Structure 1
Amino acid sequence: MEFHVKDLSLADLGKNRIEWAEMDMPVLRKEIRKRFVEEKPLKGIRIGACLHVTTETANLMRTLKEGGAEVYLCASNPLSTQDDVAAALVKHYDIPVFAIKGEDEETYYMHIEEVLKRKPHITMDDGADLISTLHMKHQDLIPNVIGGTEETTTGVIRLKAMAKDGALRYPVIAVNEAMTKHLFDNRYGTGQSTIDGILRATNRLLSGSIFVVAGYGWCGRGVAMRARGMGAEVIVTEVDPIKAIEARMDGYRVMPMEKAAEKGDIFCTVTGNIHVIRKEHFERMKDGAIVCNSGHFNVEIDIPALESLAVEKRRVRPFVDEYKLSDGRRIYLLAEGRLVNLSAAEGHPASVMDMSFANQALSAEYIVKEGKNLEPNVYVVPEHIDKKVAELKLKALGIEIDQLTEEQIRYLNSWEMGT
């Protein structure tokens, strides 16, 4: 199989959209890709990527290829693929893609297998499905791998568990942990795109509604901030006492999901954990409650429990399934419990993904140079790369900042001077 996409005739539309996103990705386009074209730091390297197949990802793939790499791409979620983008990558950029929006689980993993057949030197994950499949089914390929990268919180959690168990066989850079990734991508990207997905799916007015956010990590902060900005009353549920205090100090109501379940009009999970909304919560929800997830996997909502409670199910709008309970109450699940921001909308805006994918590109370059010197473990993005991405973003935006004077540098490095 050379590639597997829905329809190559969509390629021209995809190309236009890729170019549109590229205009808002100056760090990747002007700073990194220009140097990669000249230096070819990835020459001879095969990169297997399991990422959301979007316009922004397309521009990362183009940059990696311009750097000399052979790039192979599959989807990291069955519903997040933009079929026109997948077609454009194949037809216009000669990058093999294995991804179709709405693919079933068997096809999803078949596509991962297609990427692994190319014997990648670097794995690039969003959720760790590529690396976990490699470790479980294709350990013979591990000696070929120099290292990998991981894009999202859920994937980093899985990889740290692998490292703790001694199962991780090569070094992985946790791109998600970069300051220029999670402070911006997770907060502003997830915040805006999640609300976008909910609105596209439902066309509901958020103003005046009660919006429940499960989890107050950087993604939860972003969703809560944007929901409040559109006039919703926001309730936050948490298990971490420090994050719960922070949410309260930020002006949100904080309570257990058991209590929030009775009050909410819209529920959104962003925890990275399993069964955050469960049977006992569905039983307390009001008629017409809308439930969705913006965490990586569709396990945050206990969908089998909702199925067991329902006496009738029907699709009332694209990406909206109505579950009618025995007492007549209706609960609406968006995007089958998968990432609502990528399933029902287009994911993060290009401007914020510019920094995230700049980290990906530079981390891949770092792995080529230093991967053989790293032990199998999960590593943060080197500080010099993180700061470089910030510097390049500021430069692209035309923003200047102060520099420390020699006197200030001496002061910060001394202990003699006091009051």
Structure 2
Amino acid sequence: MRIVHIQFAGPYTSGMNYQENLLPKEHVRLGHAVTLLTCCYAWVNGTIQYVPEESCILPDGVHLRRIDFRGLGTEFFTRKMRWVKGLDKVLQEETPNFIMLHDFQSVSTLAVCRFIKKHTAVHLVVDCHTDFHNSAQNWLSKYILHGVIYKRFAQEAGKRADKLYYLSEETKDFMLERYHLPKEKLEYLPLGGILFSDEEYEQKRSRRRKELGIKDEDILVVHSGKMSKEKRTVELMKAFTATAAHHMFLAIIGTAEPDVQNEIETACKNNQHLTYLGWKSGEDLLDYLCAADVYAQPGTQSATLQNAICARCAIMVYPYSSHRTMMQGNGYYIENERQIQDALTDMACHPEKVEQMKLNSLKVGKELLDYKRQAEKIIEVCEDV
């Protein structure tokens, strides 16, 4: 089968562990011919930058085609409308049997819908990543951009799609309240992760823990992301320092805003149990998650959480409703610095709890988050509809 993934609503960076990277990869593994159509923006050294149009085969076998947006007066308006040049022609060239559109927020959604209307045998599914935490934060965004413009795109796609996937209850609420999409087409599909065999897991874990100088009996906590004040990295470091357990270590991975960067560097100088590893590739990040015992995400949400669960980490997360399905005896909810410290102290005093939580995370990964299973589930639409 010829499958086309379309991702214009945000930057695309090859080699990362995001959904738009891993689902196409899994579809290739299932034996399908896969093309990913995306825009000319990518994460480069922690910032979103423009990159040239290109057409190439990625190492995982996915055909990547970057297509530029039409200029619409200003850079701001161009990047909000996301009107891709010549998408109708590109879809004709690709002759897909199945299209997965990642989010609605693009003028080019209408081109996809025109293609589906003309080629009725082609299946379309759309997933939505938008919720009230990351979108519709001001009057213009809430009532004009999402309330009128994106709603128009979403409703047109809602008519043509076989399934409309939401990644959390918050996303589902947004789809129903802002876009008024048909509830009967909605289905839960959370962001996922990669599951490793026991042998792969142990190899990655042993290599990275040796590199960090961490013993088998030590507890390694990993925290990652694009660190801003909202990520609450500073609160995590303060709580970790206050815990002062001799067998517990904290590794911080990612890029940071200047004020947070200064706090991290100062904390690392004063505490040999705290390490800042800087930015790492998606593959390296997965290695460090396998090395970790606990993944800490006390602030804003990140797709790394799902990968951490699949890498058998116990978790410490802020109690967003989207985390409820993933919190199954495998971690702690943390709302403030005191709760972070209490969770760390509990783990330091009861390492057997950590081991049980890690086993529970593996179970959650297998049952809910495995991208291999998700890739199979998505194309089952072709048989069900």
Do the two structures share a fold, i.e. TM-score over 0.5? no
Q: Normalized against structure 2, the TM-score is what?
A: 0.38
* More strand as a share of residues: 2
Q: Using CA pairs below 8 Å that are at least 6 residues apart, which structure has the higher relative contact order?
A: 1
